[in-house]
Amino acid sequence: MLRVGLTGGIGSGKSTVARRLAQRGAVVVDSDAIAREVVAPATAGLAEIVTAFGGGVLTEEGALDRAALAALVFQDPAARERLNAIVHPRVRQRSEELIAAAPPDAVVVQDVPLLVEGRMAPLYPLVVVVHADAEERVRRLVEQRGMPESDARARIASQADDAARRAAADVWLDNSGDPAGLEAAVDELWTARLVPFEENLRLRRVVRAGAPKLADPDPDWPAEGARLCARVAAAAGERGRGVAHTGSTSVPGLPAKDVIDLQLGVDSLADADAVRDALQDAGFPWRSDIAWDNAKPPGAPPWPKRYHGSADPGRIVHLHVREVGSPGWRYALLFRDWLRADAAARDEYLAVKREAEARYGDDSDADRYVQVKEPWFDAAAPRADAWAASSDWSPSLE
């Protein structure tokens, strides 16, 4: 089963995307619909709201008067927190019941309006954000929902901004224009990414990187790394000792294979094994074919690690799980920080990468590409250590 978080600002068209995904076969769990269900007449949720806010929030028929309740809580953060404390736990419980009833091969899309505001993005293997320009959203709210313009603008201003949503988004669907274009984008997302992602996740199958071709530096790599680090940290829980974006995509301005390398620190490999299933459920299947750490200073003995890949066909990830303080753990952080700081070393390394690409860039056996680089790493290690000593460097996850 693949769980997808779907969100977007009010008036963005999130419900349109949810309906299209349902038509394609997704199991849609609508948080707004559930929020109405858990405060329906004769429910414990409605009774608790009346206790908290008084009988003035009821209609003559005994149902929740949403406009009256909104007037009480919209401008009062403390009142809004009281309401959320009543509604949100019930929504979570009912959502989990619906998810548990879904087939094991389902793509479950959780429609969560405040996913970003609630900092829930790391809890999903994939987050889809539906976007529309603010003025277009205002127009829709006024014309289609009959909302006063001032209220529409206030609602939009009270929610997360575009920058926060972009930071959370693995997939960004723009719904500012042609509805047919949005439908086509959703269909492509379903066919090319969600369906194979679910199958890979269920079968614990890793998406391989393919031939080692270098790409120009992508300004999105740092944000992708941060988003994936948060996802790994959430899955590892208290056994994790920090997650870092490492490898070439973590070095600004450096051409690299379009692969995000991550390092999860643990106290022991017993902890790595204990979080294996949680990492797999989060979208990172275990790769049992690699057990020894190649990232280590020259002459250091082989050091065991654990290695996970990605089930998401839209993003290749190499996740290295290492003991904090081990040679490989330190080495990965040191080389990243040294290359960030030393332009000459960065240029040297790029030249070696170009040579490896020229020789083996069309070879699906990435080991040969790596072997071309190893002599440079061995020779560069003392220089990196010297830089660490001269700069008072210490390992950092940033």
DSSP string, 296-357: S-TTPPP-B-EEE----TT--EEEEEEETTSHHHHHHHHHHHHHHH-HHHHHHHHHHHHHHH
The gap between the terminal CA atoms of the chain, to the nearest Å, is 32
Q: Are 311 and 283 in contact (CB under 8 A)?
A: yes
Per-residue CA distances from 371 to 15, 167, 345, 352, 355 (Å): 50, 35, 19, 11, 11
Please calculate the CA angle 246-252-253 and round it to the nearest 5 degrees: 130
Contact 110, 121 (CB under 8 A): no
For 6, the 3-state DSSP assignment is: strand
d(CA 322, CA 241): 10
Binding residues for ATP: 11-16
- Give the whole-angstrom CA distance, residue 57 versus residue 238: 42
**3-state SS, residue 291:** coil
Q: What is the DSSP string of 47-59?
A: HHHHHHH-GGGB-
Tokens of 299: 């002459």
C-alpha to C-alpha distance for 167 and 227, rounded to whole angstroms: 7
Instruction: Report yes or no: 18 and 25 within 8 Å, Cβ to Cβ.
Output: no
Enter the DSSP assignment of 225: H
The token pair that represents 297 in the structure block: 């200073």
Q: Are 292 and 326 in contact (CB under 8 A)?
A: no
* Binding-site sequence positions: 11-16
